[in-house]
Structure 1
């Protein structure tokens, strides 16, 4: 059996527990917090990278942010999203193979817990930079790990390659982005995953009846290990905001309020 949260069964279980097609912790609360302070008047075209089943892309469309394009490498997720959310344009696409002119001129490129799962993150960030307009914005919510430390081994390959919080600015600079702010969202992630574990417990009968007891054991065991790793700070969460590096009318203007405590301050 294919025990992966990125499998169709895993995504369906998460959607049930989260009461929506979201693949990131915090669901709509996380989206609203991530976009707080963005210059909405300058954002009209949005690119959702790793859109999954389309819930986040639909949130932006429903809240009037503009034209949203969602891309994901998984064909089943894209097929589902197209049927479920007709207001959004969804494309099956490997982010590391995006090309102009199909992908260019986006005002906002965003990822919610997606970069960690992309094997070639440098190429992905470079391609996203190509897709952004001059002065465009990158919004990134993802897992982090301490510098020079591997991810918690008990989470296996499914945790992918979380970004290094301390060096994310260098990573962005090497791919054409300029770091604006980074926030430590580890405490938020821990609370959101504790809540998710409680939701799994409430949905136990549905998960067992629909997917079998082994799936219930897998999701509860994996996410409990994730929650414990967050509590021990062997794994973290972050919100990163960046802009394109080349000069543009808005590129040098800060678009966010100053974060008290400086970079890495806990929310």
Structure 2
């Protein structure tokens, strides 16, 4: 499996996407999540798994909220702090937020980051440590409909969660699921668009890294699109409120 969560590979994907985004749909996906989560001006917002920082920057500027990003990759955090100076980005583990001296949060969101966390209990317990009463969460992420078939492709780690896990496991940590927006068709369209961008810019992208890296990345995302089209993989926005 090509490791896409390294700083170098995130920068490569950002070049394809046309911005420092690590998730499908880019600005379109951000607007979709904002239409449901609705951060208000001056509310405190946590970007859990902030990557290169463009999503936090967009959400902060669109809403007037105070956004803090946390990511395990210190190099990505350095890039975010250097590039998006209106907001704060902190290196850290989203399952150990209580160790980071964060402010209390009104809103928490995660864009395609929790799929890589095998312990959802730890994630949502950690969110509890930094959440204000009545806080709300939006998790925009992959859904595994057929874990065995998905694992056989090797395009994503085996920690991709099922719809049932995303509904039930957060409840053990006091988070009530308040809504689910199915994004299966949107994810397929976004990845088809992503692959089209790769093909349109093949020569430039292959020169940025190497033809071998280009082909490895393209195969990974082509496999993901195939899984989306076959119903092995999907996408959803899960909404939660602190009970």
- TM-score normalised to the size of structure 1? 0.85
Work out whether residues 105 and 135 of structure 2, in 8 Å CA contact, stay in contact via their aligned partners in 1: yes
Q: Which has the higher helix share?
A: 2
Work out whether residues 206 and 213 of structure 2, in 8 Å CA contact, stay in contact via their aligned partners in 1: yes
Following superposition, the deviation at residue 36 of structure 1 comes to 0.7
More deviation, 40-49/18-27 = 40-49
Work out whether residues 46 and 106 of structure 1, in 8 Å CA contact, stay in contact via their aligned partners in 2: yes
Cα distance 1:184–1:74, how it changes in 2: closer, same or farther (>3 A)? same
Task: Name the residue aligned to 2:168.
Answer: 170
4+ residue stretches of structure 1 with deviation over 6 A?
none
Greater Rg, structure 1 or structure 2? Answer: 1
Work out whether residues 151 and 235 of structure 1, in 8 Å CA contact, stay in contact via their aligned partners in 2: no
Q: Which of 217, 223, 226 is matched with 2:224 structurally?
A: 226
SS in 2 for 1:46: strand
Following superposition, the deviation at residue 39 of structure 1 comes to 4.4
More deviation, 21-30/64-73 = 64-73
Q: What is the distance in 1 between the residues matched to 2:228 and 2:121?
A: 25
Instruction: Tell me if 1:78 matches 2:77.
Output: yes
Cα distance 1:92–1:180, how it changes in 2: closer, same or farther (>3 A)? same
More deviation, 26-35/94-103 = 94-103
Cα distance 1:62–1:144, how it changes in 2: closer, same or farther (>3 A)? same
Instruction: Tell me if 1:186 matches 2:154.
Output: no
Q: What is the distance in 1 between the residues matched to 2:158 and 2:27?
A: 24
Q: What is the distance in 2 between the residues matched to 1:144 and 1:215?
A: 26
Task: Name the residue aligned to 1:129.
Answer: 128
Cα distance 1:131–1:84, how it changes in 2: closer, same or farther (>3 A)? same
Work out whether residues 47 and 70 of structure 1, in 8 Å CA contact, stay in contact via their aligned partners in 2: yes
Work out whether residues 9 and 211 of structure 1, in 8 Å CA contact, stay in contact via their aligned partners in 2: no
Task: Name the residue aligned to 1:256.
Answer: none
- TM-score normalised to the size of structure 2? 0.93
Deviations 1:7-28 (A, max 9, x none): 2221111101111011111001
Cα distance 1:75–1:100, how it changes in 2: closer, same or farther (>3 A)? closer
Size of the aligned set, in residue pairs, is: 243
Q: What is the distance in 1 between the residues matched to 2:27 and 2:148?
A: 30
Deviations 1:155-194 (A, max 9, x none): 4274341221134221110122000001211110000000
Cα distance 1:169–1:119, how it changes in 2: closer, same or farther (>3 A)? closer
Following superposition, the deviation at residue 100 of structure 1 comes to 6.1
